Amino acid sequence: MTAHDYWVLSPAIAMALLALVTISVDLVTRNMAKVSTVAFLGLSAPIILTLNLWFGWFGDPATAREATGVAELGSALFGSVETDRFALFFDFLLLTVTAGTILASAKYIASDRMKDYGGEFVSLVLLSVTGMMILVSATELITIYVALELTALPVVALAAIHRTKQGVEAGTKFFVLSAISSAILLYGFAYIYGYTGSTHLDVIMNRLAVLPTEAGVPFGSYAVLLSVIMIVAGFGFKMAVVPWQMWVPDVYQGAPTPVAAFLSVASKAAAFAVIMRIMYVAFGDPVLMQDWSGLFAILAAVTMTVGNTLALSQSNIKRLLGYSTIAQAGYILVGVASVPANQVGASFAGAGPQGVLYYLAGYAFTNLAVFFAVIAITSRTNDDSIEGLNGLLKRSPLLAGLLVFGLLSLLGMPPTVGFMAKVVVFGSAINANLTWLAVIGVVNTVIAAYYYLRVIRAIVFEDAADESTFSADKPLLAAAGVAAVGAGVFGLAPFLLLEFAEQALSIIPAIIPGI
């Protein structure tokens, strides 16, 4: 590895080191407060390094590139990792989510049943994030696969960390399904490698452009078709897309809630990032784009509808949120399906992909606020049924307010980020000639209103069986509050995120030609 490679990978390396430091602190002090503090403050290292790469504070990566002669901006390890602005956007997102998760689990890892594994808990989270940070930067299939495994394995341990029956079941389920999906993914990678002779995404695109195509066959060849379907299936598991969603409710219910919060946001964001990169870089040819757009449009419609329909009858808040994240993944897929190749008019500047990034970030803030509020509440009431939330407004007004606000944003009520993100995503679908998909999306929003409002009704209107009041720990409350404020601010001022997203996407030629 050259100095430049270290430079480009510095955020991920810092993250991995932080994981090691955290576990060492745990080993030496056995003090969970210290572990949390070190992990939280230590996050400033990868954050500063990420900011550095974005702004080029300590030397522009572009100059470093000239010195090493590596062709791509910020690419490292023989072009297999590329910490470009697209990757950096997701690095920021992942780091924010990690900071929130650590803050929110500070009290949890200090609890009696966790204090023996608290250090492991935090460092496993950090290791998984390391995998995600490499995953969003990876531009080569083998690297993607390895990073994906690094992302998934710590989560298996995290899900089962309680070693209760439910926890072990959640862990096992996650492990087995994750392994199967990885195998399918690898199969897809193997096909595309066999067909094009390369594992580098940009080379694959060039080879696909010159290889002969068969008329009437999607993607011009059955090999590519099969490979795309397998790749989408493999990542579909991570994105929690129907029909690979079965694990979600079980794992969310069985795993510790901070893990579920982390999974629902970070792991999903990373999976969407890598699928976007693969699709737009390797299969970014306008003709191919139209083919996979149709595939994603169908997945989006099915995912939204199934997720929302199954959520209707849930009585456990964690399971309900599990199905809700499935439905949300469906909305995000609408943005993935809205490709530039289908544009109406000339002014389309990647609204679909921009919508995906905006939705993911907005959703991250919203969902964290909801999950953190649920953690705070269920840790006091020890009841994760929806009836357990009855009369919450009287018992803990602040937590109730945060939870209601988050649910309204998930529902897509103006002026939250949830509404604005849906407008952007559905608007981009209409622009990409997918009006039918936008209509299904709107109908789904109405269906979803039913179960979100049901929870809100319990919180605001029902009478509590137990009238005692309670509040949450300061760190958890701060994390939930910051997430909720983010969800509000990014809804009122969408440009803050969208400008950022546009810059992130500007490096992918297939999305914004000419930049």
Partner 1 sequence: MFDGLLTITVFLPAAVALLVTLFARGENADQQIRWISIGATVVTFALSVLVFVGYDQSAGGIQMIDHFERWIPIDALRSSYLLGVDGLSAPLVLLTGILGMAAALGSWRIKKRVREYFLWLLLLETAVFGVFVSLDLLLFFIFFEFELIPMFMLIAIWGSGRPRYSAMKFVLFTLAGGAFMLVAILAIYVSPDVNTLAMVSIPELGITGIPELMAGADLAAPAALIFGFFFIAFAVKLPLWPVHSWLPDAHTDAPTAVSVMLAGVLLKMAGYGLLRINLGFFQETKGFTIHDVAGAMSIVAAISVIYGGIITIRQTDMKRLIAYSSISHMGFVMLGVAAVGTSAAQTSAAGLNGAALQMFTHGTITGLAFLMVGLSYDRTHTRHIPHLGGLWKKMPLIAIFFLIAGFGSLGLPALSGFVAEIMVFLGTFSVWPWATGVAAFGVVLAAGYTLWMVQRVFFGERPATPGLSDEVYDNLTDANWVDMIPVIALAAPIFIVGIWPSVVTDMFDIGIQAVLR
- What sign has the CA pseudo-torsion 102, 104, 110, 113? negative
DSSP class of 160: T
Instruction: Give the amino acid at 311.
Output: A
Q: Is 124 or 484 the residue whose CB approaches partner 1 more closely?
A: 484
Q: How far is the CB of 412 from partner 1 (least distance, A)?
A: 10
Residues near partner 1 (CB under 8 A): 343-345, 347-349, 351, 354-355, 397, 408, 413-415, 419-420, 423-424, 426-428, 430-431, 435, 438, 442, 446, 449, 460-461, 493-495, 498-499, 502
Distance CA 70, CA 54 (A): 18
Min dist. Cβ of residue 362 to partner 1 (A) = 13
What's the min distance (Å) between Cβ of 455 and partner 1? 15
* Nearer to partner 1 among residue 210 and residue 346 (C-beta): 346
> Which SS3 state, helix, strand or coil, does residue 70 take?
coil
Least gap, CB of 435 to partner 1 (angstroms): 6
| Residue with smaller CB distance to partner 1, 59 or 415 | 415
Q: In the complex, what is the shortest distance from the CB of residue 47 to partner 1, in angstroms, rounded to a whole number?
A: 25
What three-state secondary structure class fits 510? coil
d(CA 184, CA 229): 10
CA distance 64 to 55: 14
Closer to partner 1 at the Cβ: 203 or 349? 349
3 vs 493 by CB, closer to partner 1: 493
| Residue 205 C-beta: closest distance to partner 1, Å | 24
Check if the beta carbon of residue 53 is closer than 8 Å to that of residue 9.
no
Tell me how far, at minimum, the Cβ of 347 lies from partner 1, in Å. 4
Whichever of 424 and 508 has its CB closer to partner 1, that residue is 424
Q: Cβ closer to partner 1: 311 or 501?
A: 501
CB of 515 to partner 1, least distance (A): 13
Length of the chain: 515
Q: Provide, rounded to whole angstroms, the least separation between the CB of residue 494 and partner 1.
A: 5
Nearer to partner 1, 134 or 438 (CB): 438
Q: Is the peptide bond before 243 cis (omega within 30 degrees of 0)?
A: yes
Q: Are 76 and 83 in contact, with CB atoms under 8 Å apart? A: yes
Answer yes or no: are the C-beta atoms of 441 and 426 closer than 8 Å: yes
Residue 73 near residue 84, CB atoms below 8 Å: yes
Region of 316 on the Ramachandran plot (φ > 0 left; ψ -120 to 50 alpha; else beta): beta
Question: Which residue, 128 or 338, is less far from partner 1 as judged by CB?
Answer: 338
The Cα–Cα gap between 477 and 135 comes to: 31
Are the C-beta atoms of residues 202 and 281 closer than 8 Å to each other? Answer: yes
Q: Which residues of 433-465 are buried (b: 16+ CB within 10 A; e: fewer)?
A: bbeebbebbeebbebbbebbebbbebbbeeebe
